[in-house]
Structure 1
Amino acid sequence: MNLFQLINDTNIASSAAHLETSRIMQICNACRYCEGFCAVFPAMERRRTFEEGDTAFLANLCHNCGACYHACQYAPPHEFAVNVPQTLADRRLSSYTDYAWPTPLAGLFSRNGLVVSIICVIVFSIVVGAMLAMIAPHLFWGVHLGEGAFYQIMPHSVMAGIPMAIMAFVIMSLVIGWRRYWRETGAVWGGMPSLADAFHAVATLRNLGGDNSGNGSGCSAVDERASNARKWFHHLTFYGFMLCLASTSLATLYHYLLGWEAPYGYFEAPVILGTVGGVILCIGTAGLWREKRRAAPATLSLATMGMDYAFIWLLFWVSMTGLILLAVRETSFMGVALAVHLGLVYAFFLIMPFSKFVHGLYRFAALLADAGERQVASRY
């Protein structure tokens, strides 16, 4: 498929997702039975025209718990065929491609998320491993102990330089995407109270569970029984990732401010944070994979599955290979483990702007805009 065909197909899919979301929201706005289920329905009542920006905003405000589908009197096989979770999932996916930069890359990944992820990991791992093994085989397969052992295999300037170059592109892409989304959705800034409310919504996942108070019974599974398991696994994934980020940030300070080179001792703060974060992240992503497979099929979007599984798969193996590297770092397998781990890390960062990672940014923007709209509405 050529680039122009990909862009055209992406635009057609985005338009179709918007039109279906607009149709569904008009029906829901007339009914309003589900207005207490999550933040989507009160926000829907404030935005009644449902232009493309409106549907993108509502789609990213949805956490796909599925409660509204099972409560809906117009759900299939009714002729109205109202399926809010699936419809908003499709619109979320199209919003990722609508606002991403460069857009064609987002379209490619949304179609073949898991395949693209695996290819990137294999390519990076082979390139890094082959480069290191050919440059100095005796170092690659050797045993290196103590401070600076990693850099016996790969110089720090190279190890840090590659992700820095990748991150420059990633940050630019994410900033452009965020700006496009905020402008096109007509987001309203409600000041610091709305920012605090949005952070609280993210930290507690209060909209994930069928009740916008945060006390809902959870997400629906294939047997239609609600469970909060997805919420807890999501918490583990998020906070595990944040601990790993804290570990990397602290290690950077160790290196540049104190002059201490990795690997650090097993009881040093960066290693403890990274180990705990890695274990939590593995549990969280494995649980999310399980919950994804247990979810009620009617509430899922087949179009998003590749992207969803790719993100979970990458996060799991980034954390798992990090733990494996920790376990074998004092053996001759350190070179191989380091190459594979770096291949996964580089691949994860490279595709970050075009992966499910952006759902965190867009959802936070939607929560921030929603809080701002409620702040403005409360003044009148």
Structure 2
Amino acid sequence: MDRAELVELLSPEGLRLLDSLPPWNEKDDVVRTVAALRKQGHSPGLVAAVLSQARLRARARAKFGEFASRMLFTEAGLEQATRLPVAALHAGRFARAGIRHIADLGCGIGGDALAFAAIDLEVTAADADEVTAAVASYNLSPFPHVRVLNERAEDVPLGGIGGVWLDPARRRVEGGTTRRLADPADYSPSLDFAFGLGERMPVGVKLGPGTDRELIPAGTEAQWISVDGEVVELGVWFGPLARPGIGRSALVVQGGSGHELAAPADSEDAEVGPLGDYLYEPDGAVIRARLIGELARAHDARMLSEGIAYLTADRPFETPFARGFRVIERLSAEERKLRMALAERGIGTLEIKKRGSDVDPAGLRKRLKLEGDASATLVLTREAGRHVALLVERID
């Protein structure tokens, strides 16, 4: 969204028109909708602006729920925005540390600042991009104890502020498309600035879950968070925002409930052992936090192969930190024999999971020429370094 589009959108006519539109549906005839709005006398620029926002609001429901229907968004801002339940966790950490005034530097569309303000924390939010700052100002306007600045993070005065939250911009819009930045030196603000600030005051930094672990400063708490099976972020916490004795943690949020696995540092992997009757696939946050060994030892499980994130056990166990499967049988990993075995069992629908195997599941599924009414789950992995194919079923 550019400045001209924002001006159109923020006009009284633009906001009224946006709020009057029915919920966005990808199956609707957009051409017909545009024609109907133009026939009502609305300008082409305004029609484009409100329809773009209607589409973004529909996408934003996954992160903001009902709040999305009263917010404005940019494409890049929505992609990077924190889910509201996760932002509430960030806010709670600042509140428990006794910090009452937070600077949200690089605030984007204001997702985290919304959560801070909702628990009556004072917020100074800033974004270097003029349009993004204006969108954040609109989204945060219901809160009198929030101010939004169109400033670079590096230029915001921090006098009287108790703690800082940074979500460095990791995407750039070029030619109408959003590009993810691979080099942390290109983030805005840079990691050097963010981590340098953490050496002086309480700071939390949100990063992508795949961030190079070598970049995580010593003495901080690194927490990976997954929501309903998707790893969504790495949070790095400095000073009193980092909990004593915790260097690595995995927070697994499922259906609104959170479960945490934590340790002082990376845990050593469990011993490798033979395939048992049950196979477990650790949650992505547990894998990223390198706490697989911690999980295994808590449930008398073992690694199936060195360096492969599957656990196996002789007895089933319940945990929010892994998905469990009962092993039905071991099949040949050789493709021709595998095809014959699946045909004998009448398997026509096959879910393929893999770790430690370079096979392309979509291509393999096509080559297997599946036929039949039965469905199954196949795991392609390694046992003690050797390729194996396991027919499994999920444990409720």
TM score, norm. by length of structure 1 = 0.20
Higher strand proportion (structure 1 or 2): 2
TM score, norm. by length of structure 2 = 0.20
Higher helix proportion (structure 1 or 2): 1
Larger Rg belongs to: 2
